[in-house]
Amino acid sequence: GAGVSQSPSNKVTEKGKDVELRCDPISGHTALYWYRQSLGQGLEFLIYFQGNSAPDKSGLPSDRFSAERTGGSVSTLTIQRTQQEDSAVYLCASSLGGGLGSTEAFFGQGTRLTVV
Amino acid sequence: AQKITQTQPGMFVQEKEAVTLDCTYDTSDQSYGLFWYKQPSSGEMIFLIYQGSYDEQNATEGRYSLNFQKARKSANLVISASQLGDSAMYFCAMREVNSGGSNYKLTFGKGTLLTVNP
């Protein structure tokens, strides 16, 4: 597709279950970002990938959160043993490069996660 | 410390008037980039405008302009001739270099909710 694709668009899960959120970036984009946005709030940085490596994982809130990226393309964010406070919209973005030029990040539509 | 500060949780403007949304940033880098995004109620993130730290002129994109004051570390967004469709959340963001030049983290502020009144 032409844009950043995230799946699923909505996910309802029971507390304690594991979930996987997928992000398919724009082809050729080497930089990939994950953010979390709670209702009416700003974007909380989670993790950044440059290619398949993650130079910055500083935003992952706990060891229940992990992410990987394979083939310099698709990324998966995994939340283990979900808690109600994990409920939020998870946004993925990609950009052409990780440099400082005017390579804006393009965002997906997000995955709305609800933990019940 | 907050990297990006947006001090206005909410702003109101009359249609056709101009409005300025504030953004200050904190970095020790000489080279960085500043971005503004719009998020309407639909939730999508729309890129508006970019300013590089070495750009000598303020960036402009149609009705959007960025008032860049490097010494004050501010990058305010100016929207001219506001339209009803401009009602949305606006986020300021910064991309800087960390960890020896390998980490180009993109950090966002908490946003300003703009409401345009008819």
Model pLDDT, residue A92: 97
Give A106's contacts in chain B (Cβ within 8 Å): 47
- CA-to-CA distance for B63 and B91, rounded, in angstroms? 17
User: Are A93 and B106 within 8 A, CB to CB?
Assistant: yes
Q: Please, is B85 exposed, middle or buried when counting C-beta atoms within 10 Å of its C-beta (0-12, 13-18, 19+)?
A: exposed
Given a cut of 60, whether residue A9 has pLDDT beyond it is: yes
- What mean pLDDT do residues B103-118 have? 91
- What is A89-115 written as a DSSP string? EEEEEEES-SSSSS-PPEE---EEEEE
pLDDT digits (tens, 9 = 90+) for A40-97: 788 999 999 989 998 888 899 999 999 999 998 999 999 999 999 999 999 999 998 7
**Cα dihedral B108, A84, A14, A114 in deg (nearest 10):** -40
What token pair was written down for B62? 């149609």
Among A9, A100, A109, the residue to mutate for chain B (most B Cβ within 10 A): A100
- CA-to-CA distance for B25 and B69, rounded, in angstroms? 11
Nearest Cα of chain A lies from the Cα of B23 at a distance, in angstroms, of 14
- What mean pLDDT do residues A21-35 have? 94
CA B77 to chain centre: 5
B99 band by pLDDT with thresholds 50, 70 and 90 = low
H or E stretch covering A56: strand A53-56
Model pLDDT, residue B100: 64
| Among the listed residues B91, B117, B105, the one whose alpha carbon sits nearest the alpha carbon of residue A46 | B105
- What mean pLDDT do residues B85-110 have? 85
User: Are A45 and B108 within 8 A, CB to CB?
Assistant: yes
Nearest to B109 among A42, A91, A100 (CB): A42
User: Are A105 and B110 within 8 A, CB to CB?
Assistant: no
Give B111's contacts in chain A (Cβ within 8 Å): 41-42
